[in-house]
Structure 1
Amino acid sequence: MNPVDLAIVVAYLAAMPIIGVLVGRRQKSANDYFVGERSMPWWAVTLSVVATETSTLTVISTPGLVFGSAFLFLQVAFGYIVGRTIAAFVLLPKYFKGNYVSAYEFLGKRFGRGLQGTASVTFVVTRLLAEGLRLFAGAIPIKVILDHYGIHTAYWHIVVLLTALTVVYAFVGGIKSVIWVDVIQWSLYVLGAIGAVIFLATKLPDGWTTIAADQGRFKLTDFTSNLLTQPYAFLCAVIGGAFLSMASHGADQLIVGRLLSCRNLRDSQRALIGSSIVVFAQFALFLVVGAMLWVYTGGKAGKTAMDIAAGKGAPDDVFPNFIVNELPVGLAGLLIAGILASTMGALASALNALSTSTIADLYQRFTKKNVEDSKLLRHGRMWTLIWAVVFAAFASLFTDSKDPVIQQGLGIVGYTYGALLGSFFLGLMIKRARQADAIVAFACSVVGMAFIILFVKFDKATAAIHIQFGANTKSLVALATFWYTLLGVVITLVVGGLMALRHRTPDPNTLETEPPQEEAAVS
């Protein structure tokens, strides 16, 4: 490996834990550890949210989308703007009014501790699957890059190293460290992408945009594809993207925890809506890189070593192959560090979110004790360390990178997001619904979505529905993934709404006032 590139990567790996510890080393309380005493500037939270939702696979795979679906993914990103705007004005006010540190505390206040615990456990399991597998998936391109430079190592070595470096600042500094390091990490991979654009611009012929446009590489919308089975059909992408974003950024503690660290509701709304605009621009940037790579390679991704290592199609590997083989010294190191940054940023956010949810939704609620603040802080740090070990162990179990469970794990939120978001809507919209109604509706949504995802297929020609229990045939395809969250929400509302008809009066919990902020504890 070139000494300059190696120095950049090593400097990054050494600097992130140090910066994180320096920023957050003086934790005063559990409230400081979990929500930064609600003192974080909204613009930093905006960038932290974007860094949290950006994984290694996002960075390396988005440019490859241009080879198959042009710029159609921006339809989904537009749906993100719609969904996050709705979440900002419907869900965030409830969290700030209750002075919560966890999104699921709202469910506990509205329905009871049973649903709060159910939602929290669901979040924990979902994050373990999604983030653990994402951590392993993030090690795949890193290993291939290291192998290319003659540095041969096992996947679990990379997983353990990344986890150890990340947990240092997440353990010591809590949410403050996570947010400020996220800002640096976001800047790193975006600067790397901009550098790739500048470099490619010097290599492409004049009029490259016309070449790409003539071949449909800048296509933005799709109004002709099947709405049920094609994820980039316009209504599927926009509506599905909106509900997916409402769930991920309004009902998932991974993101909500960052938003609750803002100084007030207005700043939190700015951060959430701002993140949708930034992520739209970020996707556009990576898609521009993809369009330039399409012209640069003549529209042929080629067969690379990454195909064999990752078991994926070549378009997913165009960008990392370009980084390894084509970029000049220095810029290659910057982008490799950016790939590491996206993995560490997502992991740090998951560790903090899981620690917060474990303490606020499970430990503090079900022990029913008035625990002193210093003890909560110790427990918060302890659970950060515990979840780091669990993540590293879970991700290290996977040694066969061709196993399709990786991609299935990354889409695991399809099983649960509808139930989570639907529970919030059930509490807001159906006043008669009680805790038992909500728990039954939650369970029906998770089970129903599992059945739909695994067994419900559609005929490509007629769009007729088939229940497929055996091996799938080429003529049958699954429901487009962007519909999963909306469908899960519908199931939750229908089941919960029907069960609520048993009651003649509103749930007494809906008549209670939210606790004033000065009386609220850590929870």
Structure 2
Amino acid sequence: MASLHFLDWAVITVYFLAMAWLGFSFSKKNKDTEEYFVGGRRFKGWVVGLSLVGTSISSVSFLAYPADAYYTAWIRMLLNFLMPVAGAIAIYLFIPFYRAGRKTSAYQYLGLRFGEGIRMYGSIAYIIGQFVRLAVVLFLVSKLLNTMLGWDIWVCIVVAGIVVSVYTIAGGIDAVVWTDVIQTLVLIFGGLVIFWIILRQIPGGIGLIIDVAVEDGKLAFSEREGDTLVPLSWGWSLSKKTGLMILLLGLVNWLQEFGTDQNVVQRYCGAVSDKEARKAVWWTVWARLPIWALFMFLGTSMYVFFKFNPTVPAMEMLSGAQKPEGILPYFVMEYMPPGLSGLVIAAVVAAAMSSLDSSMNAISAVFVTDMYRNRICKDKDEKHYLFVSRLTATVAAVVMIVFATVLAYSQTKTIQDTVLILTSIIGSGLLGLFSFGFFTKMGDSRSVGLGVVATICFTIYVLLGQNGFVPMPAFDLYYTTIVANILMFVVSFVAALVIKRSKTAPSLDNLTVWTMVKSK
């Protein structure tokens, strides 16, 4: 690949320095954990919404969407079409539970509804999952920077890790939210710049792109089988991918994000009012859909571009001889003018940072709120809890950098696979768990505990089947999360029919849809 121009380095350097400066600017505001975790609960809806866009679009998405459209078609976009439905459900059913009682963590709800044991389970599962997410995202973006910048991968890991850690640890949620807003705008601008460059080099412009893409089936919802694109069927099936099942999977995934993800719940709690929290959901929904469509169309446009301007690397990525995720970096390094390449690299880094900073702050919020302040060390002053919050974020940063480095120099995927399997086992069925709490007046820690055990056993069975130790389940592994959440709900419900709710259990006021007091 071509080397970077001085202008590119200047753009990247300015971007990194600007993010660090923002963190220190916001650090002066942090006097207590209320400010550090929820920004004093004064964020406007549009700010929260755009920050959630940045959080959801990691550098993986930045590369994966164009790669999918380039190599196959638009099947990945199907997962997003029911996002507005999930957003509407979040607005009317989920947000009231988290906004009631000035909560900071999603798992405070589980403690009130099912007891401290279930709260601890949810908290630990979340923290483990986020540690894995931090390391994997940092590793992947550093691998990309290694390819594009030519630095040793450990240098990429340390530099990117330190920059995102500095402003997150210093500035708290204020820095996270506002840098995410900026990073979202950089991401959008970077995508538009790439599209503009492509259009300038295709004589027929957007009309030709659409004509060729339609003729070659690149705008359809199709799977690749060998060298052929095969349209999806639209029936109901657990044994293969179909259009309806992918839509359902997308709905479940978005409900899980909008209803149980601490990154999202923390932003709900940081909004200045219930009305602004609801606005935030619509902002993020209607911003994400066109952004993802833009990146899908970038992949389609690059397919048309390289059809008329074929190169060996581009053709190898189209055939599968090279990974198609390299198509966007290849285009950026070979066809973008000086200065703009640096801007796009900054956009890739921005996409990673907006995921990393949110997870680091969320880990700190869950640990301090649900574990340290609640069980380990009670009745300390805010100065103490703020110190522990920053210390926790620092530990998260160190773990992230160390584990990403281990992944980079591992000869096999064993470590990554092992930890991903562990988080999958522990964290399965969280949407089913929260939904049981939201939509029934039944159950306590005993019935829900059986649901947790059943779901973990199911996930272990699926993993054993995937590795050939037991007969495979009769469904496509793509739908494991759907089955796990249904299993969690059903087992908890059946167990609650047998094990009656304890008479000493706490009040259900504001904890179910049947007992929620409507907000004014």
Instruction: Using structure 1 for the length normalisation, give the TM-score.
Output: 0.87
Does the 8 A contact of 2:33 with 2:389 survive in 1?
yes
1:261 aligns with 2:257: no
Deviation at 1:514, TM superposition (A): 5.0
Q: Give the 3 Å change call, closer, same or farther, for CA 14–118 of structure 1 in structure 2.
A: same
Write out per-residue CA displacement over residues 100-159 of structure 1, whole angstroms, 9 at most, x where no aligned residue. Answer: 100010000001111101100000111111221121111111100112xxxx41x22211
Q: Does the C-alpha gap of structure 1 residues 478 and 141 become closer, same or farther in structure 2, counting only changes over 3 Å?
A: farther
Match of 1:499 in 2: 495
Alignment of 1:56-455 (within 5 A): 56-147=59-150, 152-153=151-152, 155-206=153-204, 207-220=208-221, 223-224=232-233, 227-228=237-238, 230-231=240-241, 233-298=242-307, 302-303=312-313, 313-367=322-376, 369-400=378-409, 403-404=412-413, 415=425, 418-455=428-465
Describe the superposition over 1:163-218 as per-residue Cα deviations: whole angstroms up to 9, x where unpaired.
21111111111101100001111111210100111111111131231111111111
Q: 3-state SS of the aligned residue for 1:216?
A: coil
CA pair 40-57 structure 1, distance change in 2 beyond 3 A: same
Tell me whether 217-226 or 330-339 shows the greater mean CA deviation.
217-226
Quick one: distance in 2 between partners of 1:256 and 1:95? 7
Q: CA deviation at 1:62?
A: 1.0
Deviation at residue 412 of structure 1 after TM alignment: 7.8
* 8 Å CA contact 2:187, 2:350 repeated in 1: yes
User: Of 475, 479, 497, which residue of structure 1 is paired with 2:476?
Assistant: 479
Q: Residues 402 and 304 of structure 1: is their aligned pair in 2 closer, same or farther, counting only changes over 3 Å?
A: farther
For residue 491 of structure 1, report the CA deviation from its aligned partner: 1.1
Say whether the 8 Å CA contact 1:247–1:485 is kept in structure 2: no
CA distance in 2, matches of 1:478, 1:329: 50
User: Is residue 2:54 matched to residue 1:51?
Assistant: yes
- Whether the aligned pair in 1 keeps the contact of 2:22 and 2:171 (CA below 8 Å) is no
**Aligned-pair RMSD on alpha carbons?**
2.8
Asked if the contact 1:136–1:396 (Cα under 8 Å) also holds between the matched residues in 2, the reply is yes
What number of residue pairs does the alignment pair up? 492
CA deviation vs aligned residue, 1:14-44 (integer Å, no higher than 9, x gap): 1111022213422132101110011111111
What is the CA–CA distance in structure 2 between the aligned matches of 1:507 and 1:273, rounded to whole Å? 40
- CA–CA distance in 2 between the matches of 1:437 and 1:208? 56
What's the counterpart of residue 38 of structure 2?
Answer: 35
CA contact (8 A) 1:166 1:348 kept: yes
Q: Identity across aligned pairs (percent)?
A: 23
Q: Give the whole-Å Cα distance in 2 for the aligned partners of 1:172 and 1:334.
A: 25
Deviates more, 1:241-250 or 1:291-300: 291-300
Within 1, Cα distance between the matches of 2:295 and 2:195? 9
Tell whether the 8 Å contact from 2:98 to 2:268 is kept in structure 1 after alignment: no
**Using a 3 Å threshold, how does the CA distance of structure 1 residues 209 and 407 change in structure 2: closer, same or farther?**
farther
The 3 A distance-change label for structure 1 pair 157 and 17 is same
Contact 2:168 2:175 in 1 (8 A): yes
Question: 1:85: Cα distance to partner?
Answer: 2.4
AA aligned opposite 1:180 = W
Distance 1:224 1:158 in 2: 43
Local SS of the residue matching 2:213 = helix
- The Cα of 1:432 is off from its aligned counterpart by 2.6
Do 1:414 and 1:484's aligned partners in 2 also have CA atoms closer than 8 Å?
Answer: no
CA deviation after TM superposition for structure 1 residue 501, in Å: 1.8
Evaluate the alpha carbon distance shift between residue 409 and residue 345 of structure 1 in structure 2; reply closer, same or farther with a 3 A threshold: farther
CA deviation after TM superposition for structure 1 residue 86, in Å? 1.5
Q: In the alignment, does 2:22 pair up with 1:26?
A: no
| Deviation, structure 1 residue 410 | 7.3
SS in 1 for 2:407: coil
Q: 1:10 to 1:109 in 2, by over 3 A?
A: same
1:324 & 1:507 partners in 2: Cα distance? 66
Query: Structure 1 residues 52 and 34 mapped into 2: Cα distance closer, same or farther (>3 Å)?
Result: same
Separation of aligned partners in 2, 1:43 and 1:62: 25
Distance in 1 separating the partners of 2:287 and 2:85:
13
Match of 1:490 in 2: 486
The secondary structure found in structure 2 opposite 1:398 is: helix
Tell me, in whole angstroms, the C-alpha distance in 2 between the residues paired with 1:191 and 1:425. Answer: 38
- Tell me, yes or no, if the aligned pair for 1:419 and 1:488 is still in contact at 8 Å: yes
Match of 1:461 in 2: none
Note if contact 1:42-1:268 (Cα within 8 Å) is conserved in structure 2. yes
- Alpha-carbon contact 2:125-2:423 (below 8 Å) kept: no
Q: How far is the alpha carbon of 1:416 from its aligned partner?
A: 5.2
Matched with 2:516 is: none
Task: Classify 1:225/1:140 alpha carbon distance in 2 versus 1 (closer, same or farther; 3 Å).
Answer: farther
**1:84–1:242 contact (8 Å) kept in structure 2:** no
Counterparts of 1:383 and 1:180, CA distance in 2 = 21
CA displacement at 1:507 relative to structure 2:
6.2
AA in 2 matched with 1:216: G
Q: Tell whether the 8 Å contact from 1:47 to 1:182 is kept in structure 2 after alignment.
A: yes
Q: Is the 8 A contact 2:464 2:470 kept in 1?
A: no
Residue 257 of structure 1 contacts residue 353 of structure 1 at CA under 8 Å; is this kept in 2?
Answer: yes
CA distance in 1, matches of 2:118, 2:465: 28
Query: Residue in 2 aligned with 1:468?
Result: 468
TM-aligned CA deviation for residue 487 of structure 1:
1.2
CA contact under 8 A between 1:9 and 1:337: conserved in structure 2?
Answer: yes
Flag the 1:179–1:33 CA change in 2: closer, same or farther, 3 A: same
Higher mean alpha-carbon deviation, 12-21 vs 100-109, is at 12-21
Give the TM-score of the pair, scaled to structure 2.
Answer: 0.87
The 1:407/1:288 distance shift into structure 2, 3 A limit, reads farther
| Partner amino acid, structure 1, of 2:497 | L
Contact 1:248 1:417 in 2 (8 A): no
Cα 1:500–1:402 change in 2 (3 A) is: same
Note the residue ranges of structure 2 that are not aligned, 5 or more in a row: 223-230, 512-520
Q: Helix, strand or coil: the match of 1:142?
A: helix
